[in-house]
A and B are shown apart, each in its own frame.
Chain A
């Protein structure tokens, strides 16, 4: 059959999908009496126009990279891990327990320990559905969805009855010790100077140590952890025997059996890796931003990860780029509600359209482009 050239597959298809999603979004905006051009400007300005905007955009991006990678790893093993949300919530619990366990002397130690905690808790939450899938054939989609609900209920119980300090009103853990606070971008040398050039990045305050600090710029060093994980995932999948077996198993279970690949082992390892990555997302929001464990800390990022992986073609580089796009949509969408009289639901509509076009309707765009390319080619052949 006719095929698209590789560049068109990787660049053109997502681009056309995005343009289509944008066009429909514009129609929706017009229908509620808003100017799409103005809305677009607000989104770009709000997400990318200032250090403040970038701070939020990259903060969201960080979370989406983790959850996108989580979906990617499972996907390569032929498993659809919908449980990123629950695994991230358990990861958050791991982060909180580590951070609260002792008075951390330095954030680097705290980060290393909290990352381990997040990964172990996330992986443990993925282990049960993985085992049920590997040994009993219980479908991973169903079990991971169920585990999302169990995770949410478990966290509510823990936050209300166990982790909540006496006398506190809201269901949340105690604040983490200062040593467990991660440097935000405005505290990292180099990026700080870059921020200064870019203009206002939130409200400047004097922190407890008497230094100037910026609030409301939650992007933090976890971004670099996320990028490192993207490289690690790439290396595991394409440079190691384990990744080779995962990909082979994901492409064809029957062939994997012929090659002597142990299905139980692969399902378990892939899901543990996936759960660990989803759990690590919580380093970003729980440790990097909130500074304590809150209810529903993952804020749906586990689900966005599915769209990110889908759009990123299940390649770590694609995941990073798609995460950036969704970070932009998240932050820009929030600005819409603040500046224009556009209901905040609008951002969900825009995100939904992007997911719809880049994910579900991907084949439609692909077939359309394939046909156009085919016409183009046969004309060339005819002329020759």
Chain B
């Protein structure tokens, strides 16, 4: 029972405004049954709003939804589930200390006794995992499962509720390449059984690999729906941004100078006394970008935190030959900045910005002790800060260029530009960059990548941490892969490929090298 031409979902004239912002404008989309339909677009293009309307989180201002040819009202997510729509969120909605079975049943219990539901669910799960390669131990606790398996539980939850239409929101952000491949195999299996899948992503490669049709959104409108086989990544990128985009980063060969950062046997324990960084050693030279690849949660965050002065560590770290204290006095973020280390943190909402602060207040974040921002011994020079912010906003093309606007009012890409501008303009010797383009639109990605390259060409050392392999491969001069708190080895980006890096990321050493 593959695609038979009938439509699983048809949206007609969907519009939704939030105040003055038109998030969705007259959206029309038709998804044939038994296909995988990709939806791509930059951040803020309206993908999530559209899916939230389909799942009953928002009510559309105008427009109609047809499910299986029938006009359907979806006032809440319960109605969406009844209409056969299942949603797999980017951030899983699982109870960590419940078993897989309990999570699947949660909210779909029948009767007063839990056991009957659980017994029934167990049978259904067995059938599902047989049919779709969705094998998960039903009695395992969710907290013990890998991220890839947790995602399978989310899919099982939707299928258990008899979803015919499955929406996946950025499903591969947390997966290794191998896990992502497995996910796509599952999705293809589901498609062959007649399920319809909507895949929301910003990764062009996934669209090309997995989908039958793809719809491109830009600024709240649907700009095109094309057959995947008849398009190219370049064309899709151009549709998304509205202009030609360079997908490949252009850079000159590196000319590494003296060693700037030398890290020896760096170890970090988290607050539960679990060792997260298990003896990491490397060095970065001036004019060189060292990329750290790896699946999120393998110690990269702790590496950045230790070097940025956010976490205590042991080992030996020298910057330009001078020792950096790793705990106690002189190991805080202020001392690191004074020493010449700038840090674009992995999570700009959690660390890099105070969202309620204005842009100019955020430009002082971490640098509030700089003499140029002081009026006198007592007061800060808020005017100088505003002027400095206006200058940085212009140089880094932050839009809108209003220093007094709250950080939360900027788009993800522009928020990140504010952080990058703040850190790079301090002229550091070493730049720590974590996930520089997470949640950043394609146009801004290009800009931020070029800025990182420019800093390298100016003779600075850069430590780049990213879970995006493409980003690591295209920016780095050397690549180190991190797994379980250790570096699995260094690779030359010219002489390696995603397959080899993917193996290392999964903890398997290629070429017989010791871990």
Contact = CB atoms under 8 A, between A and B. Distances in A.
A252 B350 contact: yes
Nearest to B350: A254
Given A245-B368, A259-B368, A381-B17, 15 more contacts: A239-B379, A244-B380, A247-B354, A247-B357, A248-B354, A251-B355, A251-B356, A252-B354, A255-B352, A257-B333, A258-B333, A260-B333, A260-B337, A377-B20, A378-B61
Given A239-B379, A251-B354, A255-B353, A260 B364 contact: no
Interface string A238-278: 01110011011001101101111110000000000000000
9 contacts: A2-B19, A239-B379, A240-B379, A252-B354, A257-B351, A258-B333, A261-B333, A261-B334, A377-B20
A257 B364 CA distance: 14
Contact of A260 (B61, B335, B350, B356): B335
A137 to B, nearest CB: 11
Contacts of A245: 368
Interface in A215-246: 235, 239-241, 244-245
A3 interface: yes
B19 A3 contact: yes
A212 interface: no
Nearest to A259: B366
With a 10 A CB-CB cut-off, give which of B332, B336, B368 has the most chain A CB atoms: B368
A290 B221 CA distance: 70
Interface of A: 1-3, 235, 239-241, 244-245, 247-248, 251-252, 254-255, 257-262, 374, 377-378, 381
B378 interface: yes
Interface of B: 17-20, 61, 308-310, 332-337, 343, 345, 350-357, 361, 364-366, 368-369, 374, 378-380, 382
Contacts of A248: 354, 357, 365
A239 B351 contact: no
With a 10 A CB-CB cut-off, give which of A244, A261, A377 has the most chain B CB atoms: A244
B379 A260 contact: no
B416 to A, nearest CB: 15
Contacts of A258: 308, 310, 333, 343, 345, 351-352, 366
With a 10 A CB-CB cut-off, give which of A1, A235, A258, A261 has the most chain B CB atoms: A258
B19 A259 contact: no
B436 to A, nearest CB: 16
Contacts of B380: 239-241, 244
A241 B365 CA distance: 11
Contact of A244 (B352, B355, B364): B364
A335 B344 CA distance: 61
A262 B332 CA distance: 8
A260 B352 contact: no
Nearest to B304: A258
Nearest to B348: A255
B417 to A, nearest CB: 18
A33 B345 CA distance: 64
Given A3-B19, A254-B351, A260 B357 contact: no
Given A255-B352, A260-B309, A260-B333, A244 B17 contact: no
Given A2-B19, A252-B354, A259 B378 contact: no
B407 to A, nearest CB: 10
Contacts of B379: 235, 239-240
A259 B333 contact: yes
A247 B357 CA distance: 9
B24 to A, nearest CB: 14
Given A3-B19, A241-B369, A245-B368, A255 B354 contact: yes
A281 B354 CA distance: 33
Given A251-B357, A258-B333, A241 B19 contact: no
A261 B336 CA distance: 12
A181 to B, nearest CB: 34
A377 B18 CA distance: 10
Nearest to A382: B61
Contacts of B335: 260
A377 B61 CA distance: 12
8 tightest CB-CB pairs across the interface, nearest first? A260-B333, A260-B334, A259-B366, A258-B351, A260-B332, A251-B354, A239-B379, A255-B351
A248 B363 CA distance: 12
A244 B354 CA distance: 11
Nearest to B385: A244
Nearest to B373: A241
Nearest to A245: B368
Contacts of A377: 19-20
